[in-house]
Amino acid sequence: MAMTNNKTQCVICNKDKITYLCEGCLKNFCLMDLTKHRQLLNEELHHIINDYDQFKHRFTEQKPNPHDLFLINEINEWEIDSIEKIKQKAKDCIEIVIKSSQIFLNDIEMKFNDLNEQLKQFRSENEFNEINLNYLRDELIKLRQELNSPSKTYTQQESEPFINEISIISLERPTFNKWKQNANTVAGGDGFGQKLTQFKYPYGISIDEKKNIFIADCDNHRIIEWKYNAKEGQIIAGGNGQGNKIHQLNHPTDVIVNHQNHSIIIADQGNRRVVRWLNRNQQILIDNIDCFGLAIDKHEFLYISDYTKNEVRRCKMGEYNEGIVVAGGNGEGNELNQLNSPGFISVDDDQSIYVSDRDNNRVMKWRKGAKEGIIVSGGNLNQLSYPRGVIVDDLGRIYVADMWNHRVIRWCEGKEEGEFIVGENGKGNKSNQLNNPYGLSFDNEGNLYVADCGNARIQRFDIVL
């Protein structure tokens, strides 16, 4: 850090003070904000060191997914059914062979008995000559030849199988959506500050059906609603200074819109509470919780991540209490039943929970009622670095704000690697760059919104159909 003597404007507080130039980001900070900036840098260094310490890959046993188990069950049922059909077919054919053979023997026996009666008659009557003897001899020869002749019965392979054939067909996955790589700044972008055109570390975001954006403006201790195509936002919660009074917020980290009653629910992190604001009226829903991320499922259950207890809790809307632990809750760690500083969360239609397990550099999926999660994103070196926002779409694809890699990654469950979605051009403030992305959200058209925290703006990446 190089000290300058002239008073200049601090990039954070926007006040003219004696400032210090950061040689890394080339921005001027006053002493107070410089200290905070250094703390962030130290925290980043700490996690980079942790990444190096976790160089050893952790291999986990891969289990078949539910769809594979369903296919295996179908194959087993086909095998059993086919074997039964084959056994029955073989039994029927054997019965035909035996029946045919018996008819053949019965026929010879009848002829033999008839010949035997003639012999008895010749002997008893003692009336026979050379002609009769030749006849008897010829008939006996015929019977012997008939008995020794090959059977006229044979097998025939049918050209069309009598059992249904089975094949495994791998259908191509649906064409994955793509997004334009140059984003539109749809909120903020006017630098750090307290103006209604500015943010001071936007964290969680939520989009309603009218494409209005709700932003947890963390260090301004407020929630901003930025209406579609508006030039500035409006304060709809907080904005009354940092504090713990009912009309104040303290470093809110996430916000969700309850479309049922158009209320907003806020993770009021600094006050260790979850609050609801409805028509400027406030209500504490859950207290004494180190909340960070929030989610609501289609059954109106509320999910809250607790980064101190390393768990996710669920409670029924309208019946607010401590709820139940549905992910983690087994202390800090990197085992499959543990979390380490869980952040943002997402819930699918099956009530499976997706958690950005920040300090483990992975995203975990916890199926409803599961005692442990599965790694669906990251978990190995150089894949994710300090993951933040996480969303799962209708096809089960997971989108992750890979914060310290300044990009958004898409992951499919069961895959070992993700794919780039946006932000492949390194850290920066251009339209095709991100700087410490936090919250993620989709609108009803599939456009991707990113809380570009380090650039104090919300970026919209338009979908390419």
Q: Shortest CA distance to 328 belongs to which of 314, 349, 347, 348? A: 314
Residue 82 three-state SS: helix
Please report, rounded to a whole number, the percentage of residues in the chain having pLDDT higher than 70: 87
> Is 69 inside a domain boundary?
no
| Per-residue model confidence (pLDDT) at position 404 | 93
- 277 and 235 fall within a common domain: yes
Read off the pLDDT of residues 262-290 as tens digits, 9 standing for 90 and up: 789 999 999 999 999 988 789 999 999 99
pLDDT above 50 (res 173): no
- 25 and 131 fall within a common domain: no
Last residue of a domain, which of 136, 165, 194?
165
| Per-residue model confidence (pLDDT) at position 3 | 44
| CA 441 – CA 452 distance, rounded (Å) | 12
- pTM of the predicted model, to two decimals? 0.64
pLDDT above 80 (res 301): yes
- 120 and 216 fall within a common domain: no
Average pLDDT over residues 436-457: 95
Select the highest-mean-pLDDT range: 2-11, 72-81, 112-121, 354-363: 354-363
- 292 and 394 fall within a common domain: yes
> Is 72 inside a domain boundary?
no
- 186 and 144 fall within a common domain: no
pLDDT above 60 (res 60): no
| CA 217 – CA 65 distance, rounded (Å) | 39
Q: In this structure, are residues 53 and 46 in contact, taking their beta carbons and an 8 Å threshold?
A: no
Last residue of a domain, which of 165, 188, 210?
165
> Is 172 inside a domain boundary?
no
- 230 and 87 fall within a common domain: no
Of the ranges 170-184, 345-359, 441-455, which one carries the lowest mean pLDDT score? 170-184
> Is 455 inside a domain boundary?
yes
Higher pLDDT, 325 or 129: 325
Q: In this structure, are residues 427 and 435 in contact, taking their beta carbons and an 8 Å threshold?
A: yes
> Is 306 inside a domain boundary?
yes
The CA–CA distances, whole Å, from 229 to 188, 210, 222, 460 equal 12, 11, 21, 12
Q: How many residues does the chain have?
A: 465
Q: Which domain holds residue 24?
A: 8-62
| CA 205 – CA 207 distance, rounded (Å) | 7
- 317 and 406 fall within a common domain: yes
User: How far is CA 120 from its chain centroid?
Assistant: 92
Please report, rounded to a whole number, the percentage of residues in the chain having pLDDT higher than 90: 48
- 296 and 192 fall within a common domain: yes
| Per-residue model confidence (pLDDT) at position 353 | 95
Residue 290 neighbours by CB under 8 Å, 6+ apart:
269, 272, 306, 307, 308, 309
Last residue of a domain, which of 165, 189, 219?
165
Q: In this structure, are residues 101 and 95 in contact, taking their beta carbons and an 8 Å threshold?
A: no
CATH of the domain at 360: 2.120.10.30
| Per-residue model confidence (pLDDT) at position 313 | 94
- 269 and 147 fall within a common domain: no
- 334 and 218 fall within a common domain: yes
| CA 311 – CA 304 distance, rounded (Å) | 8
The CA–CA distances, whole Å, from 85 to 78, 89, 90, 332, 333 equal 10, 6, 9, 56, 54
Higher pLDDT, 52 or 349: 349
**One-character DSSP codes across 349-379:** TT--EEEEEGGGTEEEEE-TT-SS-EEEEE-
> Is 74 inside a domain boundary?
no
> Is 445 inside a domain boundary?
yes
Read off the pLDDT of residues 211-230 as tens digits, 9 standing for 90 and up: 999 999 999 999 999 999 99
- 235 and 280 fall within a common domain: yes
Helix (H) or strand (E) holding 39: helix 31-53
- 406 and 453 fall within a common domain: yes
**Structural domains of the chain, count:** 3
| Banded model confidence at residue 139, pLDDT cuts 50, 70, 90 | confident
> Is 320 inside a domain boundary?
yes
The CA–CA distances, whole Å, from 390 to 252, 358, 364, 399 equal 18, 11, 10, 6
| CA 228 – CA 249 distance, rounded (Å) | 25
Q: Shortest CA distance to 353 belongs to which of 270, 293, 408? A: 293
Average pLDDT over residues 59-86: 72
| Banded model confidence at residue 174, pLDDT cuts 50, 70, 90 | very low
